[in-house]
Amino acid sequence: MALIELYVPSSGVLFQRFADGAVVYSPGDESYFGLNGTGAEIWNLLPKEGSTFDDLLQKSMEKYPDAPESDLRTDLGDLLEELVKHGLLRRTTAEAAA
C-alpha cells in the first residue's frame, strides 16, 4: 500500500478574489494570507479534496508553460508551506489509488 501526501484546504477556509490577487481567510482562527495574481491562480488549481505536490506542479506548468520548471517547483513549494504554516492548508497522507 503506497501512501501519498496531499495538500487539502483547511475546513471553513474562504477565498476572495480581487483584481490583483486574492485573500485566503480562516474564520476559525482569524488567520488570513494575501495572494498575488499567480498565487490566486494556484489556489484555484487546488481541488477541495486536495492534491499532491506533483499534480499541482503539473497543472502549474501547463498554466505557465514559459516558466522554468525549477522556478515553479520552488515557488509552489514556498507558497504551499506558507499556507500550511498559516493553517489555511493541511498536509495529510492518503492511500494512493491502485
On whether residue 8 sits in a domain, the answer given is: yes
User: Which range (16-25, 72-81, 87-96) has the least confidence?
Assistant: 87-96
On whether residue 29 sits in a domain, the answer given is: yes
User: What is the tally of structural domains in the chain?
Assistant: 1
Quote the domain boundaries for residue 9: 3-92
Provide the pLDDT confidence category of residue 98 given band limits of 50, 70 and 90: low
Report the mean per-residue pLDDT for the chain. 92
Provide the pLDDT confidence category of residue 32 given band limits of 50, 70 and 90: confident
Q: Averaged over 26-43, what is the pLDDT?
A: 91
Whose grid coordinates read 506558507?
Answer: 82
